[in-house]
Structure 1
Amino acid sequence: MPATFKQTFLCRFLTMLFAAFLAAAAGKESIAQSQAIHAIDVSNARQLHKFFQYTGNDIPLISGHRGGMTEGYPENCIPSFENTLRHTPAFFEIDPRLTKDSVIILMHDATLERTTNGTGKVSDYTWEELKKLRLKDKHGNLTEFRIPTLAEVIEWSKGKTIINLDKKDVPLEMTADILEAHKATANVMCTVHSAEQALYYYKRNPKRMFSAFIRTPEELEAYEKTGIPWKNIMAYIGPKNSPEAHKMLKLLHARGVKCMISAAPSYDKLPDSAARASAYREIIQDGTDVIESDLPIEAAAAIRELSPEKAANRKFFRRQELKITKSL
């Protein structure tokens, strides 16, 4: 009898311990799966064009350059995009590149050393080889995060945000093909460095939205000659809040075009956070509509109070519960 009692007690104890462990694990998983993000609610091309239309009464927009470069979160990967969206609405400039076997992945550099624990050229590796690498954050610290494919990011972004594809080594035809395959007209726009690039995409899909380099009157004239409607265009006007940029603001606003300054190569480099915040605010106060930044969370916080109370584009922003499948 004593032996039986001990066995029964031990069995019950172990059962209770296991149940407690499962409950704790379930609670932990539940927390990981219930994270709210700031989503951009755009579901078709018409809404996308409206989102980027200049009205003079809009909430200033934030573009996360390469998704943002926060400590612990590498550039050009989905967890970094999600981290930014937990703090602010944003769309994301990203960098598609080709692997050896023609899979389009996200990677800014042509080589692997700066952003991964790999070495050599991206184009020398297959996707099966690259998917095993781990990404580094901006300080070079190795993380658990992996290189994503462009297809994964396109599908992830639907209903959450807008991605802006920069031009690296992917041919225009391949980019247009993958966007058509994924029906990505509402959630993807293309950075174009010339009117000729924009015209190629426009002929493939007249609903395509562009982030166009229009830094001079001559570049503006080249776009006007293409016949591409201005509603399809957001304009990148340079890295500085300069007199030249202000001149382009007036010309483009008159055409209903929102304008973007990229702080990534300029004001993001200021060593003092107060100086950066002042620069971000000045950009918006002087009339620019969009700030592209390596520090999107910081830039958003600096300009938050500059949003009009009854902004025309407020209807495009909403809170959304984000499901995280990874256990913490």
Structure 2
Amino acid sequence: MKTWLLVLSLFVGSTLYSQSNRLIAHRGGVVDESSPENSLPALQKAIEQHYWMVEIDLRLTADSVLITQHDRNFNRYFGVDSLVTAMNWSAVQKLRSNAGTRVLQFEEVLQQCQQKIHVMIDNKIQGFNESLFQRVLSLLDKYQLRESALMIGTDESTEFFRGKIKLSCTRKQLEEYQQRPDFNPAHYYLFSSQISKEDVTWAEKQGILVVGVLNHRNPNLAEAKEKMKLQAAELIRSGVRIFQLDSAFKDFVN
């Protein structure tokens, strides 16, 4: 028990609180030419650079294998213009990007994250499937990641995940949920690219986590960096201290 507590203490001290602002690596980690979105190298770089959390995109193959993949198809990185939902895992696992990376199963990512980095899940699975959603939670529990996890949910899945994992909300949604008899601020977090100082003050009084967003479809473009630099400054002035961002914008919040 003492050994476990020591390991936990070192983990919390070195990884979770190593920077004044907490950073969530968008699209699976530190993305660059050698580490594409949702790849193992991108995740490893996020861990090495002491990000607080990594955001991963969750999709489902035709044979119900949970994978981490942002786009609806595999065209952008793998040159295969087929929907994720139309391909079996046996075919998906053979795909390779120009950087030599492969598609990862959700469980493999959680294995890599355990005791190293927290997870934010962008749930891109369409429809409602209770047994599938329960499988997501069971895997998070297996790798001791659910308690700290955040989820960007879908309208269809909200009622299932409510109270089981923190769900992203706008302030308008949060104010609507406050009218519910089962409202609990620990079940949600405020998530937006535009958060005012008044929003932060309101959320803190409610005990609601606040996460600002700094991401762009083409983060390496000069105009994207200029836009995100201004957006970061506004969020910081508002009092935001947790950011989900593309790694290209990391210096804007440090």
TM-score by structure 1 length? 0.62
Q: Give the Å deviation of 1:158.
A: 0.9
Map of 1:75 onto structure 2: 37
Map of 1:188 onto structure 2: 149
Map of 2:199 onto structure 1: 248
Task: Tell whether 2:59 aligns with 1:97.
Answer: yes
Map of 2:122 onto structure 1: 166
Q: Distance in 2 between matches of 1:102 and 1:277?
A: 40
Q: Say whether the 8 Å CA contact 1:231–1:257 is kept in structure 2.
A: yes
Map of 1:223 onto structure 2: 177
Q: Which entry has the higher C-alpha Rg, 1 or 2?
A: 1
Cα gap change, 1:261/1:175 in structure 2, threshold over 3 Å: closer, same or farther? same
**Aligned Cα root-mean-square deviation (Å):** 3.0
Cα gap change, 1:117/1:40 in structure 2, threshold over 3 Å: closer, same or farther? farther
Task: Tell whether 2:154 aligns with 1:200.
Answer: no
Deviates more, 1:104-113 or 1:277-286: 277-286
Q: Distance in 1 between matches of 2:181 and 2:112?
A: 33
Unaligned runs of 5+ in 1: 1-38, 43-50, 52-57, 136-141, 305-328
How many aligned positions are there?
Answer: 233
Q: Give the Å deviation of 1:162.
A: 1.3
Map of 2:109 onto structure 1: 153
Mapping of residues 97-176 of structure 1, within 5 Å:
97-135=59-97, 142-169=98-125, 171=128, 173=130, 174-176=132-134
Q: Give the Å deviation of 1:127.
A: 0.4
* Paired amino acid for 1:280: A
Q: Say whether the 8 Å CA contact 1:76–1:107 is kept in structure 2.
A: yes
Q: Distance in 2 between matches of 1:146 and 1:193?
A: 26
Deviates more, 1:220-229 or 1:283-292: 220-229
TM-score by structure 2 length? 0.78
Q: Alignment identity in percent? A: 19
* Paired amino acid for 2:209: K
Q: Say whether the 8 Å CA contact 2:107–2:139 is kept in structure 1.
A: no
Mapping of residues 175-324 of structure 1, within 5 Å:
175-183=133-141, 184-186=145-147, 188-193=149-154, 197-202=157-162, 206=163, 208-216=164-172, 219-224=173-178, 225=180, 227-236=182-191, 238-240=192-194, 245-265=196-216, 268=219, 271=223, 276-277=228-229, 279-295=231-247, 298-304=248-254
Q: Give the Å deviation of 1:192.
A: 2.7
